[in-house]
Every structure is written in C-alpha cells, then in structure tokens.
C-alpha cells in the first residue's frame, strides 16, 4: 500500500514537472512569437499613475496581448511589475511580447520632432504644437500671460511672446504644457547670453526692448545677410525719433490675420502699430532667432533710414526720401514700405 502511494506521488510529481516544462516551453514560444503577421502600428497612451493591471488592460484593448496568462507570467519572469513610465508608446503587431515588455521597461515613449520656425508668434507656436496634440491650448495661453510663471522663468514682461526660442525640439505627450513651454524658454536663455544682454544694455535697450526690436527685424526679413542693414535703419530712426513704420507691427494684434498689409491696417489705433506710435511697441511681435538677436547688437555701419521690398524678396536701402520714392516707383510698390 505504501509502495503504491509512493508510486502515485512519484507519478503526480512527474506529471507536474512535465506540465511545468510544457508551460515554460509554451511561454518561451509565446515570448518569441510575433503578436500577428500584419505589422500594424498601434499607439498606446499610458496615463500618469497607471497600475500594472491598468497597463495590461490598455494593452489588451489595443490588441497587443494574445494570452493574458502567458503575458502575466512573462512579466513576472522579467520582474516588470515596477513602475512603467507614463507616455505614448508606438508598437507594431510584428513585435514579440518580450520586445513589448522590454520597450515598456526602457520607457521608450514616442517623441515628436517639432520645428518652431524663426519669427513665429505665440499663436502660431501654439498651433504648431497642437498639430501633434502636445499641449492643452487653454493652459498654454493662460501660462503665456501668467505673472508667476513668467517671473519663475526669468521673464520680466507681461507675455511670453519673444521668449519661446525657435528651434527643433523633441517633445512627448507625457510632458505637461508647462514643461514644454519651460523647455523653449530655457533654450532662449541658453542662446541669449549675459554678454549679449550686457551689449544690449550698453546700446540703451532693456531686455524687453532688445527682444522687441529683434522680433521686428525678424518679421521684416528672413535673409540673415540683410538683417544688419534692417537693424541699422531702425537704429537710425530711433536716434532721430522717427516712427519705425514697420508693417508687421500694424497687424500683430489682429487675430487670425493673413494676407497683405493694407493702408487701412497702417491707420489702426493699436499700441503695436509703429506707424502711429513713436519708438518701440510695448513688447515683441514674434519669437526671433539668433540672427535677428545678433543684428540688434551689431547693426551695419550705414546711414540708411528707408528700405523697400524688391520683387525678388530682398530690399533696396536708401538714406534719402527722394531715392526711396524712386525705388518705390521702380519696384512697383503701391505704398511706402518705410
């Protein structure tokens, strides 16, 4: 009887060991097999604070888990119960479950390459970021004028306009709107050095005035070789207390403006319109690039006070009104550029 029981126990143990062996063989096969052969791209968004149970539910609903028991077992074997980085992940159904878990453990969230061109306004930057659903639009515009936030970023101004540096960034959707804006401002302070600010101060410009003039120069021309000449025109006008008469300033505070600047725009009663105000407007009209920022500090040594756009997009510069008027006629411009 005892001998029979021992045989029975031995038989059960053998079956149990065989079962475990078969299970692990199936687990190894599962872990190394593609989810399917369709090679479909699947985007999965893991919210902040998600538990592993919530994570697996999200993956399962996205069709990334073929067998929950094997998936849980593989997770246990990989000791992957620790926190998974929140964010947006991009998977392919040709991936193996092992690769899926490995990607989650490494926190390889999907990033978006976002290029912010020079001389974009805050509104245009927000629209570019919204294309990739990277920001909360309402939060973005609230922070753009939030006094506490601005001071925390070293901005002594009423708006963040001018301080969101144009650059190519890599953002992800786990980042908050505040983080994204802070990264762009940090890039500004990396590029605008204390030496540059000191130079601007010696020229008689506050930080805000410096950025404001740079933004006007940038909006007037995208040609870096012309910017020192345009800068010289504005420097000379400021010294002579002449209106800057910059077209882009006349339409800056018009929401959703597009198209050519017309005579009616130049007569608008706006604190930014440099056709009706003297000196600089109260703040930047865009976010200037490094060429524009340097052009303010190093204007060309010329006595030009006028410029007019030529048909090829470049400008003709002059120091007398008579020559300027002739240039207008020559280039068939209907009204004075300056």
Of residues 283 and 314, the one with the higher pLDDT is 283
Most confident stretch, 77-91, 146-160, 264-278, 319-333: 146-160
Mean pLDDT of the chain: 87
The string of pLDDT tens digits covering residues 194-236 is 999 999 999 999 999 999 999 999 999 988 999 999 999 999 9
**Average pLDDT of 289-305?**
97
What's the confidence (pLDDT) of residue 336?
43
Q: Is the dihedral of CA 213, 214, 215, 220 positive or negative?
A: positive
Lowest mean pLDDT among 91-100, 109-118, 265-274, 291-300: 91-100
For tokens 């002449």, the residue is: 242
Residue 4 pLDDT exceeds 60: no
**Average pLDDT of 15-25?**
65
Of residues 184 and 319, the one with the higher pLDDT is 184
Question: What's the CA gap between 158 and 137, in Å, rounded?
Answer: 19
Of residues 326 and 5, the one with the higher pLDDT is 326
Domains, in order of start, for the chain? 21-106 (3.30.1490.480), 111-191 (3.30.1490), 214-330 (no CATH)
Residue 124 pLDDT exceeds 70: yes
The string of pLDDT tens digits covering residues 37-80 is 888 888 888 887 777 778 888 888 888 888 888 777 777 776 66
Question: What's the CA gap between 307 and 229, in Å, rounded?
Answer: 9
Question: What's the CA gap between 254 and 266, in Å, rounded?
Answer: 12
For tokens 């939030």, the residue is: 146
The string of pLDDT tens digits covering residues 227-251 is 999 999 999 999 999 999 999 999 9
What's the confidence (pLDDT) of residue 240?
95
Please report which confidence band the pLDDT of residue 134 belongs to, taking 50, 70 and 90 as the band edges: very high
Most confident stretch, 37-51, 99-113, 276-290, 317-331: 276-290
Query: CA distances (Å), 329 to each of 163, 308, 310, 335, in order?
Result: 38, 10, 11, 9
What's the confidence (pLDDT) of residue 337?
47
Tokens encoding 28 = 């190894």
What's the confidence (pLDDT) of residue 258?
79
What's the confidence (pLDDT) of residue 198?
97
Please report which confidence band the pLDDT of residue 30 belongs to, taking 50, 70 and 90 as the band edges: low
Residue 142 pLDDT exceeds 50: yes
- Please report how the helices 52-61 and 68-77 are oriented relative to each other, as an axis angle in degrees rounded to 10: 140
What percent of the chain stands above pLDDT 70? 88
């Amino acid at each position: 009887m005892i001998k029979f029981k021992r045989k029975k126990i031995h038989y059960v143990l053998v079956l149990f060991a065989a079962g475990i062996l078969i299970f692990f063989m199936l687990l190894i096969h599962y872990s190394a097999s593609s989810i399917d052969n369709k090679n479909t791209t699947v985007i999965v968004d893991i919210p902040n604070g998600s538990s592993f149970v919530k994570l697996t539910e999200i993956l399962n609903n996205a069709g990334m888990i073929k067998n929950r028991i094997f998936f849980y077992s593989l997770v246990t074997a990989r000791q992957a119960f620790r926190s998974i980085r929140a964010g947006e992940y991009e998977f392919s159904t040709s991936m193996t479950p092992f690769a899926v878990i490995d990607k989650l453990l490494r926190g390889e969230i999907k990033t978006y390459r976002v290029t912010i061109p020079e001389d974009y306004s805050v509104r245009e930057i927000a629209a570019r970021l919204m294309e990739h659903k990277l920001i909360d639009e309402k939060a973005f515009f609230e922070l753009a004028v939030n006094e506490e936030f601005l001071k925390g970023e070293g901005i002594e101004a009423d708006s963040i306009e001018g301080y969101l540096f144009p650059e190519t960034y890599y953002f992800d959707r786990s980042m908050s709107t505040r983080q994204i804006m802070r990264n762009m401002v940090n890039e500004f302070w990396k590029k605008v050095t204390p030496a540059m600010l000191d130079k601007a101060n010696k020229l008689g410009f506050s930080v805000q005035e410096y950025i404001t003039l740079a933004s006007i120069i940038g909006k007037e021309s995208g040609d870096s070789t012309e910017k020192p000449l345009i800068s010289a025109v504005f420097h000379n006008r400021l010294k002579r207390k002449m209106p800057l008469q910059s077209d882009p300033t006349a339409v800056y505070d018009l929401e959703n403006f597009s198209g050519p600047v017309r005579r009616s725009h130049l007569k608008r009663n706006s604190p930014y319109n440099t056709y009706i105000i003297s000196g600089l407007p109260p703040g930047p009209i865009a976010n200037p690039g490094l060429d524009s920022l340097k052009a303010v500090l190093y204007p060309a040594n010329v006595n030009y006070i006028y410029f007019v756009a030529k048909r090829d997009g470049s400008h003709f510069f002059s120091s007398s009104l008579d020559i300027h008027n002739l240039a207008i006629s020559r280039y068939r411009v209907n009204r004075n550029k300056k």
